[in-house]
Structure 1
């Protein structure tokens, strides 16, 4: 199962907002500017930013001088935080279990596959949890 580009978009948006707000001292960045500068379609940018806001990684302000800012320092945001924000409720692996073949051996294989994939997902989450966005700037 392939993921959307939402994770890379989310990372790009957060790094861009961090860089610009660090230079310009906390000005809110508009979705339009972010979209143009990162070459991400506006509807995609809006969706990703909505998910980042919902996860508490960014804060939004509406109006003429509105836009988004980071809700917390970049050093406190992990790749796992971004993944969970932009892919809410999704698991890494979706297991196909509706097969016509039945029996104890089939059930055992399905169970073993499920266990292995869950272990792989846990390992991925553990790794992503260890990588802070500031690590990407070093």
Structure 2
């Protein structure tokens, strides 16, 4: 549970940072309300992706997660009256794909470390038996 919370907050902070950075690059002037809205959307999107990628078992779950984030961002754009363009939606898809890739790489690294630990434990057991 602790690892899932750490992963959630790491993904949320990466998503928020990327969203704010992309808005700064595009020259958008942000108010405190805009930043809070973006953080809320990042939190909902991150929660969706985290739960979806953990509990849904299908071969194309990453694509479904991207579709879910696009729907969340589109709905938030409508609710908060952001007047999103197609480019903005594509940015959200790109950010989501990058975050999914980072999450995948972190999971892959954790699995590799666990396999190394299992090998060392097995080697210790073999040495004790000999």
Shorter-normalised TM-score: what interval?
under 0.3
Structure showing the higher helix proportion among its residues: 2
Question: Greater relative contact order: 1 or 2 (C-alpha under 8 angstroms, separation 6 or more)?
Answer: 1
TM-score with structure 2 setting the length: 0.28
Structure showing the higher strand proportion among its residues: 1
